[in-house]
Structure 1
Amino acid sequence: MDNKKIFFSIIMPVFNTEEYLNKAINSILNQTFKDFEFILIDDNSSDGSYNICLEYAKKDKRIILMKNDRNMGVSATRNRGLDIAKGNYVTFIDSDDYIDLEVLFKVYDKIKSMNVAIDCLKYGVVEEYFVKNKLEYKKECSLSNFFSENKNEIQNEILKLEQIPLFGYSCNSFYYLKIIRENDIKFRNYSMNEDFIFNMEYFSFIKNFCFMNFLGYYYAKRGNNSLSSKKQDNYYELHMMKIDKFLNICNKSNNLTQENKELIYWMYVRYIYSTIERNLSNKDYLINLINNIKKEKLYNQFLLVEFKNITMKQKIMIYILKTQKSKILIAFVKLISWIKNKLPIFFAKIK
């Protein structure tokens, strides 16, 4: 690697993904835009992932290969990459996913065409759904092109992106490394929502934001083994923190419009349903959980929200949650969970 200023730093944490790693790495090395450094960090894998990384590092000088002495998790591993990154912009790619070969060129071209330095740029994602290792369905996640230097307009766009969700991802994002360094922004060690928390902290320091309507990142949901089907003890608390942050930001800037209120509280509904699904196996705990949710300030605020621009699916979910009948709510979540597990492709299409 020579001493000239690098334009992009690409950070890829690796942990036990030997089955997908070659495709992920090749999608970086074969980019049509070549001015980047590729920071590969093995998080103490127990499979052959590190050896795969080592073989690539021997052949390509753009690769900086590191290995953790112990398993540190994705947040700490990404932070190690941030500590040594030298590019103007930094992005993160997961080691079991991949990107289009034109991503870096399209982003570079956009950044160079602007009259100001872009503080953050995001782009669209394709979710790939696999059943028994066979790709069965693709779902495109994107919005229209967007650029703004207005705080309220940026807030509005963030709320729209999070509905898809695209805001919470770090892997479809390019960050201005100068902002990260000057404000000591790091990934925090949470069991989930690390990307969202990082983005919220980062966005508090930016002056402008750009979204490009092209599908560049391929995010693979492999069968029913994703985190969405597993129970996390702090899932509810972390996602209520999301809602609180969005409400506080909009209130502080006098931007809690009817549209934004509906977007935020629809997220709230989705998180409540997910919380219930994660606890369906523990009936006594679940009843107590729902009773406690109904006593909280957020739930009482939700009851007062008048939803106007919503779909039939949303109307049904909101109505059942507002009725306050726990048995009906649990039965409906059980039905959703059954569809999700037995008919995953159908669920992906309607969710």
Structure 2
Amino acid sequence: MKEKQPFFSIIMPVFNTEKYLSKAIDSVLKQTFTDFELIIIDDNSSDASYTICKNYADKDNRIKLLRNDINLGVAKSRNKALDNIAGIYLTFVDSDDYVELDLLKSVYNKLINNKIDLLKYSCKEEYVGKKDDVKYSKICQMENCFLEDRIKIQKQILDMEKIPLFGYLCNSFYKIDIIKTNNLLFDENCIINEDFSFNVKYVSYIKNLCCMSFCGYHYMKRKNNSLSTRKQDRYYELHMMKIKLFLDMCNKFNNLTEENKKIIFWMYTRYVYSTIERNLDTDNLKQIINDIKNDSLYKQFLEVNFKGINKKAKLMIYCLKYANNNILLLLIKFISLVKKSFPIIFAKFKG
């Protein structure tokens, strides 16, 4: 007898998250809507993560448990999990985060009555200390909307990325038919922004977008979590690719308006500041700044009219446009000091 197709497939990659794993899995298994499958893929964890997953899988037949023989990384692990999904819609949950218990029910009620290719919903960032106590939380929220016009979808994507909410996988529900028909996979050579890259590929195939103000995902930011040096090496290159993708997306549909330019190049400004901040202690900092200012994107940035921006953005943009390198570096060092010494204050005022 053929098994019933689940409505949702949920992919959870796992690697050495034994401390947080039970909370993440429980938040899925205790959902008020129960028609789902949970594909857990352990990426050859060296802690007790796999044992924890196995204990859950032995007790709940909605879990498909996979394990890599060697550590493959998150992109390859997700691609392996994609080969095992059987549902109608797909979402992702990270193994150190958690979801609201009514998430699937709320989304199901929206999906079942509408033809929706991509659904995005709001999430909550929780900044936690060394003891995993929540020091500060922030809801990243958007308004409810349903869009079928390509130009409006593009504008909504830019507005989401300002929050930011577009690049996340874990606040998204994808139509599995679109993924399978177009053979969409994660870029296994991309060392950062795998989520964003997948989302950009996916939206090129959609006809509509639904956004929900419902805050269903809790994204944990821990002080002891940091990007590896390997990931930081290509930070500027990869984030400029992100800016170019947005520009190409708007140009393709003749929608690179002054407002859209302002949004995209405010993102650009933040990425440039972050690039310089990540390289403050390197010997070639002067060369990095010169390379940025000789890049064609910087020349486009200089032409953008940033009317109606807040004072913080105005200061950052002015210094990047007009200040000499010493003053620019002084501002970035101050921002870096606040980020390291007062992370909660930094979290409140960034964006």
Provide TM-score, normalisation by structure 1: 0.97
Residues 1:281 and 2:290 are matched in the alignment: no
Corresponding position of 1:320: 319
Tell me how far apart the structure 1 counterparts of residues 291 and 204 of structure 2 sit (CA, whole Å): 32
Residue deviations 1:191-249, cap 9 Å, x none? 11000000000000001011110111000000153339996111101100011111111
Corresponding position of 2:161: 162
Residues 1:241 and 2:241 are matched in the alignment: yes
Residues 1:153 and 2:152 are matched in the alignment: yes
Corresponding position of 1:99: 99
Residue deviations 1:93-124, cap 9 Å, x none? 1000000000000000001122xx21010101
Residues 1:124 and 2:118 are matched in the alignment: no
Corresponding position of 2:137: 138
Corresponding position of 1:270: 270
Residues 145, 211 of structure 1: 8 Å contact kept: yes
Corresponding position of 2:55: 55
Residues 192, 231 of structure 2: 8 Å contact kept: no
Tell me how far apart the structure 2 counterparts of residues 316 and 224 of structure 1 sit (CA, whole Å): 30
Identity of aligned residues (%): 57
Corresponding position of 2:38: 38
AA partner of residue 252 (structure 2)? K
Q: What secondary structure does 1:84 align onto?
A: coil
Corresponding position of 2:79: 79
Corresponding position of 1:181: 180
Residues 149, 208 of structure 1: 8 Å contact kept: yes
AA partner of residue 243 (structure 1)? I
Tell me how far apart the structure 1 counterparts of residues 347 and 135 of structure 2 sit (CA, whole Å): 11
Corresponding position of 2:23: 23
Tell me how far apart the structure 2 counterparts of residues 225 and 171 of structure 1 sit (CA, whole Å): 18
Tell me how far apart the structure 2 counterparts of residues 230 and 346 of structure 1 sit (CA, whole Å): 28
Corresponding position of 2:332: 333
Q: What secondary structure does 1:86 align onto?
A: coil
Q: What secondary structure does 1:39 align onto?
A: strand
After TM superposition, give the deviation of residue 288 of structure 1 in Å. Answer: 0.1
Deviating 4+ runs (over 3 angstroms): 228-231
Q: What secondary structure does 1:129 align onto?
A: strand
Tell me how far apart the structure 2 counterparts of residues 113 and 96 of structure 1 sit (CA, whole Å): 32
Tell me how far apart the structure 1 counterparts of residues 252 and 56 of structure 2 sit (CA, whole Å): 49
Residues 191, 231 of structure 2: 8 Å contact kept: no
Residues 1:112 and 2:112 are matched in the alignment: yes
For the aligned residue pairs, the C-alpha RMSD in angstroms reads 1.4
Aligned ranges for residues 283-322 of structure 1 at < 5 Å?
284-322=283-321
Residue deviations 1:51-78, cap 9 Å, x none? 0000000110100011000001111111
Corresponding position of 2:227: 227
AA partner of residue 319 (structure 1)? Y
After TM superposition, give the deviation of residue 2 of structure 1 in Å. Answer: 6.7
Tell me how far apart the structure 2 counterparts of residues 225 and 101 of structure 1 sit (CA, whole Å): 26
Unpaired runs of 5+ in structure 2? none
Residue deviations 1:264-323, cap 9 Å, x none? 0000000000000110111x3111010011111110110111101210000000000001
Q: 1:319 to 1:224 in 2, by over 3 A?
A: farther
Q: 1:224 to 1:331 in 2, by over 3 A?
A: farther
Corresponding position of 1:199: 199
Provide TM-score, normalisation by structure 2: 0.97
Corresponding position of 2:7: 7
Q: 1:304 to 1:262 in 2, by over 3 A?
A: same
Residues 229, 278 of structure 1: 8 Å contact kept: no
